Copies of this chain bind each other. A is one copy, B any other.
Amino acid sequence: MELDHTDRSILDLLIQDGRMSYTDIGKELGLSRVAVRSRVNQLIADGVIEKFSCIVNSEKVGKNVSAFFEVDCEPANLVEVAESLVNNPVVASCYQMTGPSTLHMHVLVKDFAQLESFINEELYGLKGITRVESHILLRRFKSRSGLKL
């Protein structure tokens, strides 16, 4: 599957403003509204566009503490642990990386009390977890939305 220059321009505009109308996109790129809609639908069908969303400021909705976790598991339990964690609403993302046999996980919580209870009551009780390392976000220098990590 090959994206042409027009497809990429449409994506750039929609990443900047996910609610931009097809008419406005068309004006910007010299296309008809119908041509834009047709290309967007194709991008969705091809899985290039996964969804439209709105980016919400986590502190403004009461998620004041953003924490990153390295979760070491018994290798035999890693996938099972990951599958438990992704069902927890405080877990924003969960990845397996090269490097050590840990899960890399982002967690958003209201405050330290919720963080401590997540750690001691939910995370530490999972079978196969051997060690957990957590760090708290101090400062965001860049946080690009629109492209899935």
Contacts and interface: CB of A to CB of B under 8 A. Distances in A.
Contacts of A116: 96, 138-139
A148 B145 contact: yes
A133 B102 CA distance: 9
Contacts of A75: 123-126, 129-132
Contacts of A124: 75-76, 78, 101
A66 B149 contact: yes
Given A78-B120, A93-B144, A100-B133, A52 B19 contact: yes
Interface in A25-79: 46-58, 60-63, 66-68, 72, 74-76, 78-79
Interface of A: 1, 3, 8, 11, 14-19, 46-58, 60-63, 66-68, 72, 74-76, 78-79, 82-83, 85-86, 91-101, 103-104, 106, 108, 112, 115-116, 119-120, 123-126, 129-149
5 contacts: A58-B148, A75-B123, A75-B131, A96-B139, A99-B135
